[in-house]
Chain A
Amino acid sequence: MKPFLFIISLFLFFSVQAQEKNLEFKYVQTDEKKAIVGIKSVMNSSAFVLNDKTAAENYEMVYGIIAKKYDYPEDIILSATPSEEIVIQEQAPGLYETKSMGFVNSFDMSYNMTFLIRDGSIECVLSDMKLGNTAAMTENMEGLYLHRKNGKPKKTMKGITDLKIENYFNSILSSLKSEK
């Protein structure tokens, strides 16, 4: 009886942990409705990259990718703890894009990303997404209103704004997956 209980407990523990793991960033519609702006969609705040590397190797890999992209990686790194985590604050020019009457409007976005590094996985946690111009990121971006209040998708945003943001963050995951 006791070994059986132990196995059930372990199974429950690992299944709860596994359910939380997203392998990509994706916007999902919520129940939150607001007058005029419509129905809110939010993106999962964390996604995992699974591999067979040790925590130290994963740390080197993340740091290496940042160092490849920037001459001075310290410019975007907020904090770094070897073999544990790297927090970056990055700006993505023109990432927030909408199309209306044939015209494209785009705004810069800034975000914090925490790479939580463990043996066999890197968890990418997204936070503090802000909208604005490059110097002054002021508007918090808690979600996108991709649908009207009646549930119809907004032509100016659905499939444009969400897709561009998803692709941007998923490309970070892809670069981590493809790095050897």
Chain B
Amino acid sequence: MRKLITIIAFLCVGLTSTAQEGRTFYNSGNSSTTKKYVGASWLQGTIILADGSELNGQVRGYSYKGNDINSFRYRLKKGDKARTIKADACTLISYDGLIILSLPKNLKKKTGKRKFYVTLYYGEHLTVFQNPKAQISEGGYASASGNNAVSFNEGQMLSFLALKNGEISKLTALNFRKQMRKITSDNKKFMERTSDKKWFKYGNIYKIAHYYNQTKNQ
């Protein structure tokens, strides 16, 4: 009888082990440098609380200040009572293909009140996120006829913030190469590729951050 129980236990372990998965947050692949907004529709999402525990269920943006998100609502499923999650209570939210981080409101201080920042790219070593104070390119120039005939990079955010080793640096469209080289100089393989100017440019910031993360330990 004991052997039979052992066999059944072995079978259970074998079957369940194939169903278990580790939790990794991958970026959506949306490399556009236009501003990304948090929506207010109930969608499947994940919230990592400040104590490291995980909430999986339906999530939506809840209160906004201008276009910036102040808090999220979470419920397990439709019909359940929703609870409000503020930036102080969590570290990361995955919602609608976006990864939203909770970081200090005053980025120069590591403590104090926190707020949400939408990431452009979330990585193990280097994370790039939206600068709430960034200007947005309106594009266009006045042609001889007075019409805005041509537009360049319309809607592009003109600066992002980079988080590396707990330090935050500003990356601007105007001075991108110099600023990026300064914070990534510890990666030799990455630095070799920065000589490719067609690749190493502001509009490619998502892919540049990804390449840095992938080659950091090589």
- Give residues in A with beta carbon < 8 Å to B: 2, 5-6, 9, 12-13, 16-17, 72, 74-75, 77-79, 87, 89, 91, 110, 112, 128, 130, 132, 135-138, 140
A138–B30 CB distance below 8 A: yes
* Interface pair A130/B214, CB less than 8 Å apart: no
Contact B11 A12 (CB under 8 A): yes
Contact of A2 with B4 in the complex, beta carbons under 8 Å: yes
Contacts of A136 in B (CB 8 A): 30-32, 34
Q: Who on chain B is nearest to A9 by CB?
A: B7
Residues of B close to A91: CB separation below 8 A: 29
CA distance A128 to B3 in the complex (A): 43
How far apart sit A132 and B29, CA to CA, in the bound complex (Å)?
Answer: 11
B136 to chain A, nearest CB (A): 16
Q: What distance in Å separates the Cβ of A113 from its nearest Cβ neighbour in chain B?
A: 12
Inter-chain contacts of A77 with B (CB < 8 A): 214
| Total A-B pairs, Cβ < 8 A | 58
Which B residues touch A75, using CB under 8 A? 207, 210-211, 214
Per the bound structure, the CA–CA distance linking A110 and B28 in Å amounts to 9
Interchain CA distance A75-B196 in the complex, whole Å: 14
Q: A12 to B10, alpha carbons, bound, how many Å? A: 12
Tally chain B residues at the interface, Cβ within 8 Å. Answer: 25
B149 at interface by CB-CB < 8 Å = no
- The distance from the CB of B11 to the nearest CB of chain A, in whole angstroms, is 5
**C-alpha gap A75/B27 in the complex (Å):** 13
Besides A9-B11, A138-B30, A138-B97, 5 other A-B contacts (C-beta < 8 A): A17-B18, A75-B214, A78-B26, A128-B26, A135-B32
Q: Is the CB of B29 within 8 A of A110?
A: yes
> Which residues from 1 to 16 on chain B have a C-beta closer than 8 Å to any C-beta of chain A?
3-4, 7-8, 10-11, 14-15
- Return the 7 tightest CB-CB contacts between A and B, nearest first: A74-B214, A136-B32, A135-B32, A110-B29, A9-B7, A89-B29, A136-B30
Which B residues touch A78, using CB under 8 A?
26-27
User: Known interface pairs A13-B15, A74-B214, A75-B211. Does A130 touch B29 (Cβ–Cβ under 8 Å)?
Assistant: yes
Contact B207 A2 (CB under 8 A): no
Q: How far is the CB of B95 from chain A (nearest CB, A)?
A: 13
List 12 A-B pairs, Cβ < 8 Å: A2-B4, A5-B4, A13-B11, A74-B211, A75-B214, A89-B29, A110-B29, A112-B26, A128-B28, A128-B29, A136-B34, A138-B30
What does the 1/0 interface line of B81-99 toward A look like (CB < 8 Å)? Answer: 0000000000000000100
User: Is there an interface contact between B29 and A5, defined as CB atoms closer than 8 Å?
Assistant: no
Distance (Å) between the CB of B44 and the closest chain A CB? 10
